[in-house]
Amino acid sequence: MANIPPAPVLEGATHLHSGKVRDLYRIDAGEHAGRLLMVASDRISAYDHVLSSTIPDKGELLTRMSLWWFDQLADLVPNHVVSTDVPAAVAGRAVVCANLEMFPVECVARGYLTGSGLADYEATGEVCGIALPPGLVDGDRLPSPVFTPATKADLGDHDENVSFDAVARTVGAHDAEALRDLTLRVYARAEELARERGILLADTKLEFGRAPGEGERGTIVLADEVLTPDSSRYWPADDWQPGRTQASFDKQVVRNWLTSDASGWDRTSGDEPPALPAEVVALTRARYVEAYERLTGERF
């Protein structure tokens, strides 16, 4: 993925990697020396491009929401957060986290049929090798949540849905079963909490790892972001209507504008997307804020 801006220089930390939204550093000094510093930026991506426009406060919103969810899930699975005592330049949007060997699998749970899962179903009647009832439409609730893993793609490429057997071949049967179990348990907890707050959690993507060298004996740890609008589909429950695209608490406002005549952008041209209008930026920020406030019960 091109046009990711250079990561800020942080005193006492060495930049390791930048993704669509996050910048990763190694802490070089102090009590957390050797650990990782994960910083969430205000960047936003769409259609395999990081946009030139940013969404104010997005990094802080994502970080605060992840921390809230980590607390809600603490009895189910440990997480990678070591401390929120971070450099002042990134206060509020960064965490100190443990070094982990990450599983090379995107662990996806789906409770509703949409997105790439819908495309697979329409083509084969299955999602990731799991047969589903006939006649389902976009937005339908599934009889029970399903584990639909994906490969981790290189930056700028699409993740590809794969079968459970493919995950077992990659990480071993024992770990594949553990990842499936944890993913579905996390989804069940989160789906219930969100539904109590008037929000449907259609699907979510999770990432897990282990402390280096622990192998199958080691504890599996929940890492990266968790249950944010960037990694999950959240729908307002009072507007849910299967058979059409659902309103969502994410960057759909951005996608809609980019594919509209107003943007003047041709996705097939190879050109970079245009800057977002101020009203699209404001609407997108408002959707992230609303999701945070409705889920956590806290004011942003």
Report CA 88 to chain centroid distance, whole Å.
Answer: 25
pLDDT at 157: 56
**Sign, Cα dihedral of 166, 152, 156, 281:** positive
Six-digit token string for 66: 């992840």
Give CA–CA dist 91/281, Å, rounded.
Answer: 23
- Find out whether 90 and 237 touch, Cβ atoms under 8 Å: no
- Find out whether 199 and 235 touch, Cβ atoms under 8 Å: yes
Give 86's contacts (C-beta < 8 A, 6+ positions apart).
37, 94, 95, 96
Question: What are the phi and psi torsion angles at 24 (to 5°)?
Answer: -115, 135
Six-digit token string for 264: 């003047």
Give CA–CA dist 156/161, Å, rounded.
Answer: 16
CA dihedral 113, 119, 123, 128 (to 10 degrees): -70
CA dihedral 263, 265, 266, 270 (to 10 degrees): -160
Encode 9-67 in three state secondary structure. CCCCEEEEEECCCEEEEEECCCCCCCCEEEEECCEEEECCEEEEEECCCHHHHHHHHHH
pLDDT at 270: 85
Positions of E strands within 63-188: 81-83, 94-97, 101-102, 105-112, 126-127, 130-131, 141-147, 150-151
pLDDT at 159: 73
pLDDT at 217: 81
Ranges of the chain with pLDDT below 70: 1-2, 153-158
